[in-house]
Amino acid sequence: MVKKVLKYILLALITAVFLFPLLYVIAGSLMSPSEIGAVLSPADGKFSQFKLVPDFATLEQYYQVFFRRPEYLLRFWNSVIVTFPTVIAQVAVSSLAAFAFAKLKFPFRDKLFFVYIILLILPLQVTLVPNYIVLENLHLLNTFLSVILPGAFSAFGICLLRQSIIYIPDSSIEAARIDGAGYLKIFFRVILPQIKGGLITLTLLSFIDCWNAVEQPLIYFSDTAKYPLSVVMADIGDSDFGIVFACAAMFMVIPMLIYLYGSKDIDSPFESTDK
Amino acid sequence: MKKYQKNIIIIGVVFLVIVGLLTYFSSTIDRMLLPQVKVSEPVLSDIEGNTYFINKYLIPKTALTEDGTVYVVYKDDFSDVGTVDEISVQVNAEDDIYYEIQSDHINISQSVIYAASKEFEVGGRVYIAEEA
């Protein structure tokens, strides 16, 4: 009994730690500008007092973001324009490539996959400069494609989905082939339905990655009007902490909805093959 | 697709539509919510029509408050929206339309509020509906 209580206390503490930023963002977004100013010292951004419940809840910060400062809404749409095509392209490319690496036989397949694994290990900053040079030669710098195209080819996505596909029995693919199915038909009718968990996991992870991207837009866009909200939020002045909180609250709605959509599947990307 | 997943998609679409509408109409809605004011620039002149007097201006009679102050608007850049400030003035003379006022803080580039659709605050924002 004591062990069970301790377990729940520990779980509650861990939950509180993880929920704290979320609650603090919501609480901060509901505070008045003067209250935010009192809670967070504008000079150094440190807590002068700790508060999770506003003295007087107000929607002033949301009013600022939604009506008075539409530039933040435009940046939100920049995030949407960059993220959605990147995720769709990444999932499409990764699933097709993963199918090839897992089930098709071609020369140097495993060696090529090994190269992909190396790409996975490389930090993002290492590939930024080569990508910049390639994009410059393609005259794509300062366009949304400069972020979308490199994001579409993800080594992580291919590795994740390959692990999902590799456990699908070859017999099911051979059976489909005997029935006259081609590679694409096998991919869409046999492979995809069995890797739903992996696809949703990849969708969510790549969405979060693109949604929170700061380095790529900062380097590839010279026009600040193209910056997504993730970049702009880091650059909002100290006197506008309330706007940062309101933007953050707005910014986390879409990722939360996507998580809720796939929450039943994300914990078991290999469910179909594990059991 | 399960029912809760359909509901999440509907919520997501509604959210994006609302944000889209707000993006498109935010300035219009903001202006609608602000007090609308009519402003005019002070005329550098005395009540007799002499223009060589320094610091003597004509303002519409409705621009002067009971406290002997006028409200001026400092416009935001490239916008019909501005911030209100209150300035004390000394009234020298009047006719049917104008007060002749004197103040070191008034100049001809300022916009003096002479009519407003609703109450506004000093330091608050107003929408300039008409400039005379």
From the list B114, B97, B111, the residue with the least C-alpha distance to B47 is: B97
Contact B115, B64 (CB under 8 A): no
Give residue A56's pLDDT: 84
Give residue A138's pLDDT: 93
Question: What tens digit of pLDDT does each residue of B55-78 get?
Answer: 788 899 899 888 889 999 988 777
One DSSP character per residue, B31-71 reads HHHSPEEEEEPPEES-TTS----TTEEEEEGGGB-TTSEEE
Give residue A275's pLDDT: 40
b/e map A125-164, b = 16+ CB within 10 Å:
eeebeebbeebeeeebeebbbbbbbbbbebbbbbbbbbbb
Q: Looking at CA atoms only, how far is residue B28 from chain A in angstroms?
A: 8
- CB of A84 less than 8 A from some CB of B: no
Give residue A274's pLDDT: 45
- Considering only the beta carbons, identify the residue of A73, A74, A257 that sits closest to B8: A257
A31 Cβ contact partners less than 8 Å away, ≥ 6 residues apart: A39, A51, A54, A55, A57, A58, A61, A242, A245
Collect all residues of chain B within an 8 Å Cβ-Cβ radius of residue A67: 22, 26-27, 29-30, 33
Contact at CB, A80 and B16, closer than 8 angstroms: yes
Contact at CB, A68 and B30, closer than 8 angstroms: yes
Greater pLDDT, B31 or B126? B126
Whats the size of chain A, residue-wise?
Answer: 275
Calculate the alpha carbon distances from B44 to A54, A170, B114 in Å. 50, 92, 17
- CB of A253 less than 8 A from some CB of B: yes
Contact B55, B104 (CB under 8 A): yes
Give residue A102's pLDDT: 92
**pTM here?**
0.78
Q: Looking at CA atoms only, how far is residue A228 from chain B in angstroms?
A: 15
Question: What tens digit of pLDDT does each residue of B25-60 get?
Answer: 887 888 888 899 999 988 888 887 777 767 788 899
**CA atoms of A181 and A169, how far apart (whole Å):** 16
User: H or E element: which one contains B4?
Assistant: helix B3-33
Q: Looking at CA atoms only, how far is residue A188 from chain B in angstroms?
A: 17
Contact B131, B40 (CB under 8 A): yes
Contact at CB, B5 and A261, closer than 8 angstroms: yes
- Considering only the beta carbons, identify the residue of A73, A257, A260 that sits closest to B19: A73
**CA atoms of B43 and B107, how far apart (whole Å):** 9
Contact at CB, B19 and A260, closer than 8 angstroms: no
**CA atoms of B60 and A217, how far apart (whole Å):** 53
Question: What tens digit of pLDDT does each residue of A67-79 get?
Answer: 888 888 999 999 9
Contact at CB, A67 and B26, closer than 8 angstroms: yes
Contact at CB, A74 and B30, closer than 8 angstroms: no
Question: What tens digit of pLDDT does each residue of B91-121 get?
Answer: 888 888 888 888 888 887 788 999 998 888 8
Which segments of chain A have a pLDDT < 50? 273-275
**CA atoms of A89 and A158, how far apart (whole Å):** 12
